[in-house]
């Protein structure tokens, strides 16, 4: 059973995009420079061109790689021109902490869809929502998984943010960096519009709603089969 939420998957490779584009319950794809580096991408435009085609019209977030506002704006315009399904991904700040909201507002004014990423604080949320108007197409990507990594429960925060975003037409709230299947359920229950899911986590979604007695039995069988395969024995 798939929760009532849009599911985007990390575009970690062209093969994964092609595979998941055929799934009706996958609504879009996201990528970032870290995922691209891990996949061995060195030619951004070649990768993006093939990814756009493989996505079969579904949303595809492509991130700028600059660290100054003028170049970010230039890159954002280029990325947005590559296809109608491209969402230009802009970090909330530069590496020096300078707000990127002027770039976001300009791109939105020019009719581009924008995904604002790496958001983790109340101030970042409020300042972004303050510049969004109903005519915009903006994704508000909050890194709930990284918030959890800091020892803070993200669920109350995401529930609060969902309430704020729901009052701002033109915006959608995205739960980013989930670590486990439970996070997908939490994202839906907290009122988020979208959740990003890694290909590995997608495979685990088959466990959603699984009978726990059966799950326990399968786990015991796994341990036993692995012991046999490894030839493990206990002797006095």
Structure tokens at 223: 């341990």
Q: What integer is the mean pLDDT of 51-55?
A: 95
> Phi/psi of residue 32, each to 5°?
-155, 170
DSSP 8-state code for residue 58: S
Is pLDDT larger for residue 52 or for residue 12?
52
* CA 5 from centre of chain: 13
127-184, pLDDT tens digit by residue? 999 999 999 999 999 999 999 999 999 999 999 999 999 999 999 999 999 999 999 9
Name the catalytic one among 6, 58, 89, 204. Answer: 89
Q: Could you confirm whether 89 is annotated as catalytic? A: yes
57-72, pLDDT tens digit by residue? 999 999 999 999 999 9
- Give me the domains of the chain, ranges plus CATH numbers: 6-207 (3.20.20.70)
* Cα distance between residue 125 and residue 201, in whole Å: 27
Task: Give percent helix, percent strand, percent coil of the chain, each to the nearest 5.
Answer: 45, 20, 35
* Cα distance between residue 97 and residue 93, in whole Å: 5
- pLDDT classification of 113: cutoffs 50, 70, 90: very high
- pLDDT classification of 1: cutoffs 50, 70, 90: low
- The CA distances from residue 169 to 57, 111, 131, 140, 161, in Å, are 23, 15, 11, 12, 14
């Amino acid at each position: 059973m798939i929760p009532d939420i849009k599911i985007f998957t990390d575009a970690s490779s062209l093969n994964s995009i092609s595979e998941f584009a055929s799934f009706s319950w996958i609504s879009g794809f996201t990528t970032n420079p870290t995922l691209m580096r891990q996949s061995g991408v060195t030619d951004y435009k070649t990768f993006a061109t093939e990814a756009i085609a493989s996505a079969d019209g579904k949303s595809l977030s492509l991130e700028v790689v600059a660290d100054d506002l003028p170049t970010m704006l230039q890159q954002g315009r280029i990325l947005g021109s590559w296809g109608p399904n491209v969402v230009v991904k802009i970090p909330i700040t530069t590496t020096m902490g300078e707000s990127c909201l002027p770039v976001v507002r300009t791109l939105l004014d020019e009719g581009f869809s924008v995904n604002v990423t790496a958001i983790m604080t109340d101030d970042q949320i409020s300042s972004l929502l303050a510049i969004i108007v109903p005519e915009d197409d903006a994704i508000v990507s909050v890194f709930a998984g990284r918030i959890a990594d800091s020892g803070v429960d993200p669920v109350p925060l995401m529930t609060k943010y969902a309430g704020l975003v729901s009052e701002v037409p033109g915006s959608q709230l995205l739960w980013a960096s989930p670590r486990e299947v439970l996070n997908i359920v939490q994202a839906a229950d907290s009122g988020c519009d979208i959740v990003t899911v890694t290909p590995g986590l997608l495979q685990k979604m088959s466990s959603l709603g699984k009978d726990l007695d059966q799950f326990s039995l399968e786990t015991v069988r796994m341990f036993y089969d692995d012991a046999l395969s490894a030839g493990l024995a206990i002797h006095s």
